[in-house]
Amino acid sequence: MALRVGFEAENPAPPIDSSGLGGVGATQAQSVDLGSMFADALRDSRLFQDVRYPVPDTLEARRGIDLTMNASFKRAFRGDPAKAGKAIVTGLLLCLPMPFVVYEDQHSASGRLAVNDKDGKWIKEYSQTADLTAVWKIFSEGRSYREGPRAAARAMVAQLVEALIADRALYEKLSRDKDAKPAQAAQPPEPPEPQAAAEPPQAPASAQAKAEPQAAPAPPEAKAPEPQASAEPARPKAPSQSWDDQLLP
């Protein structure tokens, strides 16, 4: 999956916390670099595209990381509690039971791993512990002290990687989300829909009447003078029927 991991370890090669007989031999065993061991195992799993360890302390390197893993490791040794009694019995019997007396020592390694995204947001935490029992006899304890701590470390690292692989679906989802973000950013935003211009509020009728100019009244139409009737000549008086009127004019 297309995720790049930056791995950091607080104590990549922790000392051995020992108790019981044989603890001195265990603490003097060769140190184990658990940080490098875990980084190599994570690369071999091919779960992520890249695993950077150690992470360069540069801004460019930090920007190129999708996940950050912080680990803390511990190692311990517990000697066989019956080792002293077994040794005494073997000596008193002139080493005759030596081929049959076995010793059991406990080698353990533990790791705690926190996974965060590039912004520091917590994603998940893993915790694994590997306990191995080293069975040995007299004159072979040296091999137990040399190989026991390394075997426990390898077992613990394998368990951590297996726990990460079991969450493959989670990291595949993170990978898809990472690929989806650039695609969404590449699409230009849709222009906003044009909104109809708001109509100006209408003034009340009285205000409109005041605001609108009133037309000036039309001038009265001039009436044409009516023609006057022409003066008729006076009609002659009708002749009278009396005799006086029939005399001389």
Measuring CA to CA, which residue among 26, 14, 191 is closest to residue 103? 26
Q: Is 66 helix (H, G, I), strand (E, B) or coil?
A: coil
Segments of the chain with pLDDT less than 70:
140-141, 181-249
pLDDT of 243 reads 38
pLDDT of 246 reads 45
- 93 near 33, Cβ under 8 Å? no
> Measured in Å, how far apart are the chain's first and last C-alpha atoms?
155
Alpha helices in 93-213 (DSSP H): 141-166, 168-186, 205-211
pLDDT of 141 reads 67
Q: Long-range CB contacts (< 8 A, 24+ apart) of 27-32?
A: 27/77, 28/145, 29/145, 29/146, 29/148, 29/149, 29/150, 30/146, 30/149, 30/150, 32/75, 32/149, 32/150, 32/153
pLDDT tens for 152-205 read: 999 999 999 999 999 999 999 998 988 786 655 555 556 566 565 555 556 555
Residue 79 CA to residue 144 CA, distance in Å, equals 11
Q: Is 133 helix (H, G, I), strand (E, B) or coil?
A: strand
Whole-model pTM over 0.85: no
pLDDT of 235 reads 56
Strand partners, 113: 71, 126
Strand partners, 133: 106
pLDDT of 226 reads 54
Q: Identify the architecture of domain 4-179 in CATH.
A: 2-Layer Sandwich (3.30)
Domain ranges in the chain are 4-179
